[in-house]
Structure 1
């Protein structure tokens, strides 16, 4: 077996492992971002409800 073939397989495997790690990190970051967007959306909805209640009362 040629050493260039072994090197090519090792490089391809390493590249796939790096891509897998990056995909995992991206997935975790997307989950965090989705949680933050949900929190901000709920806060905006609550503020809009408070504003609507204040405008009715005033």
Structure 2
């Protein structure tokens, strides 16, 4: 009777450890996805700024080319 109880206890502890690790992985994935979304927004803003800054430069380059 001792060995089946010991095996059951060890199995429960193993499943509990796997559950804790799964929760930790889930939390880290959520944190990483938040950082990824933030970085994506920053890249989009930088691309828009670059596009706005390139407009006048392209117009002046076009006027120089036409001379």
How far apart, CA to CA, are the structure 1 residues paired with 2:56 and 2:11? 67
Output the aligned Cα RMSD: 0.6
How far apart, CA to CA, are the structure 2 residues paired with 1:42 and 1:31? 17
Task: Tell me which stretches of 4 or more aligned residues in structure 1 moved more than 2 Å.
Answer: none
**Number of positions where the alignment pairs a residue of Structure 1 with one of Structure 2:** 57
Larger radius of gyration: 2
How far apart, CA to CA, are the structure 1 residues paired with 2:12 and 2:33? 31
Unpaired runs of 5+ in structure 2? Answer: 58-67
**TM-score normalised over the length of structure 2:** 0.82
* Paired position in structure 1 for 2:40: 41
**TM-score normalised over the length of structure 1:** 0.95
Unpaired runs of 5+ in structure 1? Answer: none
Q: What are the residue-to-residue correspondences of 1:1-58 with 2, within 5 Å?
A: 2-58=1-57
